[in-house]
Amino acid sequence: MSMLIGLALGLAVAAAEPPPTASFDCTRAASASEKAICADTGLAAQDRRLGQLYAELQRDEQGRETRRDAQRAWLRQRDGDCGSSTGCLHGSYAVRLRELLAEAPALQPHASPGAEDIAAALRVFDLLEPDELELIAVHPNDAYLSELSCRYFERDPRRAERLFAPTGSFRDGWLPLCRSLDAAKRLPALQPLIEELWTAFGSTGEFVCEGSIAGSYRWRQQVARVLALVDLKPDLAADEAERARRLADLGYSPDLAHWAQQGLWEKRQAARIERHLPAARDALRDHYQQDHALDRAAAERLAAYHVQRIVDTYTGRTGHTSPLAYASACYGREDLDRYLQSGELPTRRCPYAEFLDHSPAGLRGFLLNLALVDGYPAAVVQRLVDEGARVDPKPGTDVETPLMRAAARADAIAILLRAGADPNRRNAFGKTALMHAVAEKNRAGVEALLAAQADANAATYPDPRKSCTALKAGSRSVLIYAAWQSTPEIAAALLGAGADPTARDSNGESALDYLPRNTALDETQRAAMMRLLTPTP
pLDDT in tens, 365-409: 999 999 999 999 999 999 999 999 999 987 766 578 999 999 999
CA atoms within 13 A on the CB side of 107: 19
pLDDT at position 18 is 45
pLDDT at position 419 is 98
Write down which residue in 107, 125, 151 finishes a domain: 107
Please count the other Cβ atoms lying within 10 Å of the Cβ belonging to residue 478: 32
Contact 141, 110 (CB under 8 A): yes
**pLDDT surpassing 90 at residue 442:** yes
Average pLDDT over residues 140-163: 45
Q: How far apart are CA 315 and CA 309, in angstroms?
A: 10
Read off the pLDDT of residues 310-321 as tens digits, 9 standing for 90 and up.
676 566 543 345
pLDDT at position 105 is 43
Contact 464, 471 (CB under 8 A): yes
Interhelix angle for 115-123 vs 130-138, to 10°?
Answer: 160
Residues 71-93, buried b or exposed e (16+ Cβ, 10 A)?
Answer: beebeeebbeebbbbbbbbbbbb
Please count the other Cβ atoms lying within 10 Å of the Cβ belonging to residue 268: 12
pLDDT at position 239 is 52
Please count the other Cβ atoms lying within 10 Å of the Cβ belonging to residue 366: 28
| Higher-scoring residue by pLDDT: 21, 40 | 40
Q: How far apart are CA 261 and CA 400, in angstroms?
A: 13
Average pLDDT over residues 16-21: 49
At residue 262 the predicted structure's pLDDT band, cuts being 50, 70 and 90, is confident
- Residue 52 falls inside a structural domain: yes
Q: How far apart are CA 274 and CA 321, in angstroms?
A: 24
- List beta partners, residue 510: 504
Q: Is 477 helix (H, G, I), strand (E, B) or coil?
A: strand
pLDDT at position 263 is 82
pLDDT at position 122 is 41
- Residue 57 falls inside a structural domain: yes
CB neighbour list of residue 530: distance below 8 Å, 6 or more residues apart: 512, 515
**pLDDT surpassing 80 at residue 89:** yes
Angle formed at CA 277 by CA 271 and CA 279, multiple of 5 degrees: 130
Whose CA is closest to 249, among 216, 227, 217? Answer: 227
- Residue 501 falls inside a structural domain: yes
Q: How far apart are CA 437 and CA 422, in angstroms?
A: 14
Contact 487, 476 (CB under 8 A): no
Whose CA is closest to 150, among 124, 173, 131, 171? Answer: 171
**pLDDT surpassing 80 at residue 39:** yes
**pLDDT surpassing 90 at residue 265:** no
Q: Which of 268-272, 296-300, 490-494 has the highest mean pLDDT?
A: 490-494
Write down which residue in 107, 137, 161 finishes a domain: 107
pLDDT at position 393 is 84
Contact 373, 328 (CB under 8 A): no
- Residue 484 falls inside a structural domain: yes
**pLDDT surpassing 90 at residue 158:** no
pLDDT at position 7 is 26
- Residue 436 falls inside a structural domain: yes
Please give the backbone phi and psi of residue 504, each rounded to the nearest 5 degrees, phi first. -125, 155
Pick left, alpha or beta for residue 420 (phi over 0 → left; psi -120 to 50 → alpha; otherwise beta): left
Residues 427-455, buried b or exposed e (16+ Cβ, 10 A)?
Answer: bbbbbbbbbbbbbbbbbebbbbbbebebb
Average pLDDT over residues 153-165: 48
pLDDT at position 418 is 98
Q: Is 510 helix (H, G, I), strand (E, B) or coil?
A: strand
pLDDT at position 211 is 31
Q: How far apart are CA 329 and CA 306, in angstroms?
A: 21
CATH number assigned to the domain comprising residue 454: 1.25.40.20
Average pLDDT over residues 279-296: 81
pTM attached to this predicted model: 0.60
CB neighbour list of residue 369: distance below 8 Å, 6 or more residues apart: 324, 400, 402, 405
DSSP 8-state assignment for residue 203: T
What is the signed CA dihedral for 24, 25, 31, 35, rounded to 10 degrees?
A: 100
- Residue 423 falls inside a structural domain: yes
pLDDT at position 354 is 60
- Residue 390 falls inside a structural domain: no
Contact 271, 130 (CB under 8 A): no
- Residue 349 falls inside a structural domain: no
Whose CA is closest to 269, among 317, 208, 197, 211? Answer: 197
Q: Using CA of residue 400, residue 404, residue 408, residue 409, what is the dihedral sign? A: positive
Average pLDDT for the chain: 72
Read off the pLDDT of residues 176-230 as tens digits, 9 standing for 90 and up.
333 334 556 667 888 888 777 766 544 433 333 333 223 333 334 433 443 443 3
Number of domains within the chain = 2
Interhelix angle for 64-82 vs 41-57, to 10°?
Answer: 160
Q: How far apart are CA 82 and CA 493, in angstroms?
A: 34
**pLDDT surpassing 80 at residue 272:** yes
pLDDT at position 226 is 38
Read off the pLDDT of residues 226-244 as tens digits, 9 standing for 90 and up.
344 334 334 444 455 655 5
Q: Is 410 helix (H, G, I), strand (E, B) or coil?
A: helix
Q: How far apart are CA 295 and CA 297, in angstroms?
A: 6
Write down which residue in 56, 78, 107 finishes a domain: 107
The domain in which residue 97 lies consists of 20-107
Average pLDDT over residues 135-149: 41
Contact 206, 472 (CB under 8 A): yes
Strands annotated E in 337-470? none
Percent of the chain scoring above 70 in pLDDT = 61
pLDDT at position 116 is 46
Q: How far apart are CA 417 and CA 424, in angstroms?
A: 11
Whose CA is closest to 399, among 438, 367, 433? Answer: 433
Of the listed ranges 233-242, 280-289, 363-372, 458-467, the least confidently predicted one is: 233-242
Contact 4, 352 (CB under 8 A): yes
Please give the backbone phi and psi of residue 510, each rounded to the nearest 5 degrees, phi first. -100, 180
pLDDT at position 114 is 43
Counting DSSP H helices and E strands in the chain, the numbers are 28, 0
Whose CA is closest to 74, among 25, 42, 33? Answer: 33
**pLDDT surpassing 60 at residue 4:** no
Interhelix angle for 142-155 vs 157-164, to 10°?
Answer: 150
CB neighbour list of residue 339: distance below 8 Å, 6 or more residues apart: 345, 346, 364, 367
